[in-house]
Structure 1
C-alpha cells in the first residue's frame, strides 16, 4: 500500500510551503512510474516476493495541498481474488525552517471481489532528517469476525525514519515501524509486529534491506515474512 511520506521505493509526491512567506501561487501535475523486484509494505511482501509494476499521478499546490492516485499489482497467494491495489489520497504539507508536517487521508482500493477496501488518516512531523508518522484506521468495507473490532482508530501503524545524504547525492535511509490492531491482523494474516529497514537511493535507483520480528511466516510460507528481504527498484517522475 502506498502511504504519504513513506517507503523509499514508493515515495509519494509532497508539496511543502513556508508558512510565513508570501510566494506566487502555482499548481503542478506530475506522474511517476517504476518497477521493483518485490512490493514491500510495512515489512511484508504484497506480491508473494515477486516483481511489481507501479505508477501514479500527483497534483500539488504551492499552498501545501496535494492529492494523487497510485496503482500496483499485488498477489496474496494462490486462489485469492486480489490482482491490483489502487490508492487515492489527499492532504496538506508544510514546513518552516527544519520543522515540517504532513496530514492527510488515504484510501486503499482492491478488486471488488476482495471486499477489503479500507482508509487511513495519517500525520507526519519531521525535523532535519528525522520523521515520526502515525497512520490510523478510518473505516473499512471488510466484515468483522468474531471478537474483532474494525472501528475508527482500532488499528494503527507508527514509524520512525531517518534519512541523510551521503556520497554525492546518495540518500541513506533507516526505518522502524509497528503495526497493530484487529484489522491489521485480519489483512496481514499476522499479529502485531515490528518492521525495520535500511535503504540506499540515487537517481531513481534504490536498494532496500527489510525485515520483521515475526517468528514465522504465517499460514503460507511463500510469503516468507519472517526472513530478511532484499529489494531493488527503479522509478522516474514526469512533469505533466
Structure 2
C-alpha cells in the first residue's frame, strides 16, 4: 500500500508495502483513483490477470495519525465471477532525524464469493529511499483446516523496498519480499511460502512494472503465478 497505506496504481507489493512517510504539516483529506491492467499483490494476481479499477479516501492528521479505506475489484476463480476487496486501515507515521517509521492495522474485507476476510498489523522503518516492512496476521474469519494454524503472527510478510529518482522526473522502484505461514499458503492457493520481486517505473501518474515469484507451476492456469508479469496503470490523487 504512501503515508496512509493506500494502494498504488498497480497495487504492487513494492509500493504498497512502503508505508513510510513523514507526518503531514497539517490535517488533510485526500482521495485516489486508478486503473491497472493487472492487480498484483505480493507478486500474485488478484484478478486472474484481468484489469482492475481502484480507489480510496484517506485522512491524515499533523500528529502522524491516519485512517483510510480503499476498494478494488478482484477475481479468485476461473469462472469470471468478480468480487471486491475493501480495505480499512489506521496507523501512525512519523520521523526521527533521518529515520522514518510507520505502524498500523489493516483489515481486508471481501464479499461472500471470496469469503476470506483477514487483518494484519504492520510496522515499517526507512532511511532515504530504503525501507523494510513486516506485516503479521492479526486475525481472520476463515476456518482453519486440520493441521493448519491461523493464529496471531502465524503468517507473515517481510519486504525490502528501494525507490530513487531517475531521468526526467521518473522514479524507479525495487522490491523483494517473502510471504509464509499456513494462512498465507491457503489464502494465496500456493503449496508453500514464496518469495516475490518487482521492478517499477512511475512518472506523472503512469506506472509500468515487472513482477515475479519463485513459485513453480501451481496448476492453476487462471493465475499463472509462476510466470513473470507485466503491468501498466494510471492513477490520480486529489484533495477533498
Q: Normalising by the residue count of structure 1, what TM-score does the alignment of the two structures yield?
A: 0.91
Q: Deviations over 1:114-133 (max 9, x none)?
A: 33100000000001111000
Evaluate the alpha carbon distance shift between residue 187 and residue 117 of structure 1 in structure 2; reply closer, same or farther with a 3 A threshold.
Answer: same
User: Offset of 1:15 from its aligned partner?
Assistant: 5.9
What is the rounded CA distance, in whole Å, between the counterparts of 2:20 and 2:236 in structure 1?
15
Q: How does 1:126-165 map to 2 (within 5 A)?
A: 126-165=126-165
What is the rounded CA distance, in whole Å, between the counterparts of 1:54 and 1:115 in structure 2?
20
Work out the number of aligned pairs and report it. Answer: 233
User: Offset of 1:76 from its aligned partner?
Assistant: 0.9
Aligned to 2:43: 43
User: Offset of 1:79 from its aligned partner?
Assistant: 4.5
Q: Cα RMSD over matched residues?
A: 2.2
Aligned to 1:69: 69
What is the rounded CA distance, in whole Å, between the counterparts of 1:112 and 1:215 in structure 2?
29
What is the rounded CA distance, in whole Å, between the counterparts of 1:42 and 1:117 in structure 2?
17
What is the rounded CA distance, in whole Å, between the counterparts of 1:182 and 1:161 in structure 2?
25
Structure 2 gap segments, 5+ residues each = none
Please give the secondary structure, in 2, of the residue aligned with 1:187.
Answer: helix
What is the rounded CA distance, in whole Å, between the counterparts of 1:33 and 1:113 in structure 2?
24
Aligned to 1:207: 208
Aligned to 2:179: 179
User: Offset of 1:167 from its aligned partner?
Assistant: 1.1
Aligned to 2:88: 88
Moved over 4 A (4+): 5-8, 11-15, 79-82
What is the rounded CA distance, in whole Å, between the counterparts of 1:30 and 1:63 in structure 2?
16
What is the rounded CA distance, in whole Å, between the counterparts of 1:192 and 1:31 in structure 2?
34
User: Offset of 1:204 from its aligned partner?
Assistant: 0.4
CA contact 1:15–1:66 (8 Å) conserved in 2:
no
Please give the secondary structure, in 1, of the residue aligned with 2:186.
Answer: helix
What is the rounded CA distance, in whole Å, between the counterparts of 2:7 and 2:59 in structure 1?
17
What is the rounded CA distance, in whole Å, between the counterparts of 1:43 and 1:161 in structure 2?
13
CA contact 2:178–2:195 (8 Å) conserved in 1:
yes
What is the rounded CA distance, in whole Å, between the counterparts of 2:32 and 2:119 in structure 1?
22
CA contact 2:10–2:38 (8 Å) conserved in 1:
no
Evaluate the alpha carbon distance shift between residue 46 and residue 151 of structure 1 in structure 2; reply closer, same or farther with a 3 A threshold.
Answer: same
CA contact 2:32–2:238 (8 Å) conserved in 1:
yes
Please give the secondary structure, in 2, of the residue aligned with 1:104.
Answer: strand
What is the rounded CA distance, in whole Å, between the counterparts of 1:141 and 1:80 in structure 2?
24
Please give the secondary structure, in 1, of the residue aligned with 2:168.
Answer: coil
Q: Normalising by the residue count of structure 2, what TM-score does the alignment of the two structures yield?
A: 0.91
Q: Deviations over 1:23-61 (max 9, x none)?
A: 7xx311000000000000000000000000000000001
